[in-house]
Amino acid sequence: MTRQERDYRRAQRLLAFQVLYSQEFQSCATVEELKHAFASVPPFVSELEADDGVDSGDIEKFFSPPPETVLPEDGEQDGPGGFGWELVLGVWRNRSELDAVIARFARNWRLDRLGRAELNILRLGTYEMLYRSDIPPRVTINEALELDKQFGDPRSSSFVNGILDAVCKAKERNEIQEQA
């Protein structure tokens, strides 16, 4: 994978996180509402500029796929496209299942006690591990930890890492089935 493809996916994960986090405050009942929520979230430009030394004139490249990238279909021909939309739609459609998997490994923690940022980072990571076989689990964990550094509680990274690592190991032992 090229650096441009990695940058694109990282920016799209960030966008997906923003949309999913916003759902904690105003949830969407339909795919149409979700499409509107996705389209209305502006890119987190200032963070990209600060972290990567990116000129605001170059921001578009982070939110547009590299020309050679072939993106999988998201099943919604009239909806937004791209990796970020696939993540948002996938997490939104499978939220109950993802929450059950997270709860299974969050021993002595009820999901309603978790920070909203951490919970949505865990949902994204769990979704990638169970539904996106094209992404190595260690990449998923690393990307989740990067999001957690930006948006999570300063003490939550070991918790997020522990949950996602447990999901990864359970999947490797076939205790959790990868979804198609």
Q: What is the pLDDT of residue 79?
A: 53
DSSP string, the chain: --HHHHHHHHHHHHHHHHHHHHTTTS--SSHHHHHHHHHHPPP-HHHHHHHH---GGGTHHHHS--TTPPPPP-S-TTS--SHHHHHHHHHHHTHHHHHHHHHHHSTT--GGGS-HHHHHHHHHHHHHHHH-TTS-HHHHHHHHHHHHHHHS-TT-HHHHHHHHHHHHHHHHTTSSPPP-
Q: What is the pLDDT of residue 48?
A: 46
Q: What is the pLDDT of residue 74?
A: 42
Q: What is the pLDDT of residue 73?
A: 44
Q: What is the pLDDT of residue 42?
A: 76
Run means of pLDDT, 10 residues per run, the chain, 180 residues = 90 95 94 93 55 48 45 46 94 97 92 95 98 96 97 95 97 85
Q: What is the set of domains in the chain, with CATH numbers?
A: 3-172 (1.10.940.10)
